[in-house]
């Protein structure tokens, strides 16, 4: 069978995912609302642990980290004035790490995220967070439309301990696991829905990398 050409390749972007050491990490909507209540996701704690592992790598590498926080207003499951809308403690911003508050699935819409990244001189983005079919999807597409090269971290495998050396030579592919809210095919051939961070096989949108595979 002849291998297909991805839209990423057709767009002139490299087939390999960006190295974390050459990127900015964008952590989308890692908020308490996904841990409890009406928006609670199955597998959310392992997913947050994976986010925390990747965040620790980014900090060790001293690459830019930007947290995204969705605000849907007082009394909603995304109320950032309440504990339900707060960023989860496992991935809480460190001193000096900016938080961009958004009101739409696309983190670039009506925010200063684009200006922040361009001021940093960043082109490559590693994107993780919640939920794949909504805000990760929209943010990644928005990034591509603005000239960035986004990589959505694969979510369907567990990885070993992530390296924390500043001499990092791995790609973002060794970063994380989680579960996806994208529809995908299970062994029975029926569409299944799993919730997750990262994009896995679903990250095939225009200009995206295919979900980066974890390193052995």
CATH number for the domain including 31? Answer: 3.40.50.850
DSSP-derived 3-state class of residue 126: strand
Query: Is 135 annotated as catalytic?
Result: yes
Task: Please answer whether residues 207 and 139 qualify as being in contact, where contact means their C-beta atoms are separated by less than 8 angstroms.
Answer: no
Is the pLDDT at 170 greater than 90, yes or no? no
- pLDDT of 130 reads 93
Q: Which pLDDT does position 1 carry in this prediction?
A: 64
- Is residue 198 assigned to a domain? yes
Of 98-102, 149-153, 163-167, give the lowest mean pLDDT range.
163-167
In this structure, is residue 2 part of a structural domain? no
Give me the mean pLDDT over the 143-147 stretch: 94
pLDDT attached to residue 204: 31
pLDDT over threshold 90, residue 6:
no
3-class secondary-structure state, position 122: coil
Which string of DSSP letters, residue by residue, matches 71-83?
Answer: ---TTSTT-TTSG
What pLDDT is stored for residue 46 in this prediction? 92
**So what's the pLDDT on residue 154?**
65
- From 102, 156, 168, 196, active-site residue: 102
| Under 8 Å between Cβ of 50 and 10 | no
- Specify if 3 maps to a domain: no
pLDDT at 179 over 70: no
Domain span at residue 33 reads 19-162+171-202
Q: Would residue 11 count as lying in a domain?
A: no
What is the average per-residue pLDDT within 99-109? 98
pLDDT in tens, 54-98: 999 999 999 999 999 999 999 999 999 999 999 999 999 999 999
Residue where the block lists tokens 């969705």: 70
Active-site residue (options: 29, 79, 156, 168): 29
Give the separation between CA 210 and CA 201, rounded to whole angstroms: 6
Does the pTM exceed 0.75? no
Given the residues 51, 79, 135, 196, the one annotated as active site:
135
29 is catalytic: yes
Split into its structural domains, the chain has a count of 1
Please report whether residue 13 resides in a domain.
Answer: no
Average confidence (pLDDT) over 20-47: 94
CB environment 54-92: b (16+ within 10 A), e (fewer)? bbebbebbebbbbbbbbeeeeeebbbbeeebbebbebbe
**pLDDT over 80 (residue 128):** yes
């Amino acid at each position: 069978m002849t291998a297909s050409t991805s839209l990423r390749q057709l767009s002139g972007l490299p087939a390999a995912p960006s190295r974390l050491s050459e990127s900015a990490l964008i952590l989308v909507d890692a908020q308490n609302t996904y841990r409890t209540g009406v928006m609670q996701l199955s597998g959310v704690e392992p997913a947050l642990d994976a986010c925390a592992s990747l965040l620790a790598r980014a900090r060790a590498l001293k690459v830019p980290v930007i947290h995204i926080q969705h605000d849907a207003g007082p009394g909603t499951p995304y109320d950032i004035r309440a504990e339900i809308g707060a960023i989860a403690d496992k991935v809480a911003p460190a001193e000096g790490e900016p938080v961009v508050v958004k009101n739409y699935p696309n983190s670039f819409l009506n925010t200063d995220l684009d200006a922040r990244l361009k001021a940093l001189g960043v082109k490559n983005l590693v994107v993780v967070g919640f939920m794949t079919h909504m805000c990760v999807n929209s943010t990644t597409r928005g990034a591509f439309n603005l000239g960035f090269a986004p990589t959505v971290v694969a979510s369907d495998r567990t990885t070993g301990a992530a390296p924390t050396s500043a001499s990092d030579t791995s790609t973002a592919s060794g970063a994380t696991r989680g579960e996806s809210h994208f529809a995908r095919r299970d062994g029975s051939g029926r569409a299944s829905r799993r919730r997750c961070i990262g994009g896995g096989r679903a990250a095939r949108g225009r200009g995206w990398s295919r979900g980066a595979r974890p390193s052995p």
